[in-house]
Amino acid sequence: MKNQHQSIKSIQKEMISACIQLADLGFLAGIGGNLAVRVDQTLMVVTPSASDYYSMKPEDLCVLKLETLEMVEGKKEPTTESGIHASFFLERPDLNVSLHTHQPLASAITLLGKDVPLESKEAKEKIGSKLMMVSYAPSGTSFLVKAFRKKITQQMNGYLLKNHGIVCGAKDLKSAIRSVILIEEEATAFLKQSIQKNRRNIQFPKPIMDQIETVFSK
């Protein structure tokens, strides 16, 4: 138990650093997005609900049981997306990190409601051949957890939550951060190519056009 406690404390500190880095990138905006790290086959550490990432402390993070989401350590409410992270870990025992972001362009393409192919060699190696679309369900509900769990495969580490954001799995925090950076790059390239090919007939929703306006101004 002492070793497990030390492991949890170490994970919490690493998660705080990762959250700050992701917030600096604009991928965890405000209190949006959340992060989970596996402790072992029965426990995970998750970020708390509705908490500012820049003021978050290691002791604010919550330790939950994977199977039941029962909180075994923590003072704050765990993220409402804990069920998604637990599902990812239970279906994919090879993954140790589950990251949910609201990053700008990747979140924008979730409005399209379809899978998005990945093009770069590195993205394919880390994430898979495509970003799989998960059908819409309200955030933080069992309906979204069920929809996500149905889509989980051994070959794909990146998923688009329709009209919401992304979920990405990885073996460690460094790889998770790199993967969401790659996803944002792929989303940018995908939108650029789509608009350039269909500039006259394109009918992207206004939120997408607002997000990519800066891309074409560069």
pLDDT at 192: 83
pLDDT at 102: 94
Indicate whether 118 pLDDT > 90: yes
Backbone angles phi, psi at 16, to 5 degrees: -60, -45
CB 23 within 8 A of CB 15: no
pLDDT at 211: 61
CA–CA gap between residue 50 and residue 131 (Å, rounded): 27
Indicate whether 202 pLDDT > 70: no
pLDDT-based confidence at residue 123 (cuts at 50, 70, 90): very high
Domains and CATH numbers, the chain: 2-217 (3.40.225.10)
Closest CA to 51 of 87, 19, 86, 83: 19
Structure tokens given for 213: 């306006």
Closest CA to 33 of 80, 97, 95, 92: 80
Provide the angle, in degrees to the nearest 10, between the axes of the packed helices 82-91 and 142-151: 30
pLDDT in tens, 132-143: 999 999 999 999
In 3-state terms, what secondary structure has residue 158?
A: strand
Backbone angles phi, psi at 47, to 5 degrees: -70, 155
pLDDT at 105: 92
CA–CA gap between residue 93 and residue 147 (Å, rounded): 19
